């Protein structure tokens, strides 16, 4: 999707997201990322799951973080998972995350 359209959606407080499978060191991971402007700040969700594990609640990374600027949020996302901003799209129906709650759990 066009970056300007994504920025416009975010500034209107719409949630955007994407998912991806990536192989690292012979392990396949499923990643999800969501981004939304919430009460004037930018909230980013990243979840990374090892697909070889049967318990989806046993994630390698599961976090919702808050950033002052959109650039900070996008930079953090692109450094910490393989999902790229331009590959994200508007969430229709179900959302990637609940923007009301901030948390961070990392096993990596």
- The burial class, CB within 10 Å (0-12 / 13-18 / 19+), for 74 is buried
In the chain, where does DSSP find H-type helix? 3-11, 70-80
For residues 47 and 100, what is the distance between their CA atoms, to the nearest angstrom?
Answer: 16
The predicted model gives 58-69 an average pLDDT of 91
pLDDT at site 52: 87
The predicted model gives 37-46 an average pLDDT of 96
pTM of the model: 0.90
Residue 17 pLDDT class (50, 70, 90 cuts): very high
> Which of 70, 81, 79 is CA-nearest to residue 12?
70
Q: Give the distance between the most distant pair of CA atoms in the chain.
A: 40
């Amino acid at each position: 999707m066009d970056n300007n359209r994504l920025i416009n959606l975010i500034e209107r407080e719409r949630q955007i997201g994407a998912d991806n499978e990536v192989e690292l060191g012979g392990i396949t991971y499923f990643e999800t990322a969501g981004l939304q402007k919430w009460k004037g700040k930018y909230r980013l969700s990243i979840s990374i799951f090892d697909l070889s594990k049967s318990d989806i609640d046993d994630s390698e990374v599961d976090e919702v973080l808050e950033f002052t600027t959109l650039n900070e949020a996008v930079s953090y996302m692109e450094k910490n998972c393989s999902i790229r901003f331009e590959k994200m799209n508007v969430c229709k129906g179900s959302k990637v995350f609940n923007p009301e709650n901030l948390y961070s759990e990392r096993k990596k």
